Each structure stands twice: as C-alpha cells, then as structure tokens.
C-alpha cells in the first residue's frame, strides 16, 4: 500500500494541505477517491453560491512528488 496526499486548490483561497494522507492499494484507487472528493467539493461550492471552476485537487506521493492535478471541470465530463 502507498500513501497519497490530497491538497485542495482553490483560485480564491490558500491551498488546504493534507498533512496525514491516506493509504491505497494503487494509484487508480487513490485517483478515484480524489475525483469523488472533488465532485463533492464542487457541488457544495455551487450550492453555496461559490465559484467552483478553478477548484482542483493535487495528488502527491509520500516522497513529496506531485503525481497529478485534477480539476473540477474535468470530473463532470
């Protein structure tokens, strides 16, 4: 199992850094978790009347390497 960290990026705010991370069997499972979380965050933002277009989650491995950045606009395609 590998540990992944999910940092929340929003164009209007400081990033919310994931200090604990979460363990997954593989990257695909970690990515699916990030997509699901990003969708939830985007829906909550829109329901609250906030802008969600630039909302993203950055996936980082335990070594501090950024593996991927997923944008809300891509998760609803």
Percent of the chain, pLDDT > 90? 69
Exposed e or buried b for every residue in 14-34, given b needs 16+ CB within 10 A?
eeeebeeeeebeeeeebbebb
State which residues form the domain around 40: 2-75
**Angle (nearest 5°) at CA 11 between 9 and 55:** 50
Q: What does the CA dihedral 20, 24, 3, 9 come to, rounded to 10 degrees?
A: -60
Q: Label residue 77 by pLDDT band (50, 70, 90).
A: low
Cα–Cα distance measured from residue 29 to residue 55, given in angstroms and rounded to the nearest whole number:
21
Average pLDDT, integer, range 2-21: 94
Percent of the chain, pLDDT > 70? 99
Identify the pLDDT of residue 45: 84
What pTM, to 2 d.p., does this model score?
Answer: 0.88
Here the tokens at position 19 are: 């200090």
Domains held by the chain: number: 1
Q: Label residue 76 by pLDDT band (50, 70, 90).
A: confident
């Amino acid at each position: 199992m590998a540990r992944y960290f999910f940092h929340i990026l929003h164009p209007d705010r400081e990033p919310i850094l994931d200090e604990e991370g979460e363990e997954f069997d593989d990257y695909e499972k970690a990515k699916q978790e990030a997509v699901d979380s990003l969708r939830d965050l985007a829906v909550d933002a829109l329901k609250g009347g906030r802008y969600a277009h630039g909302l993203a989650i950055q996936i980082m491995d335990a070594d501090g390497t950024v593996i991927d950045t997923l944008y809300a606009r891509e998760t609803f395609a």
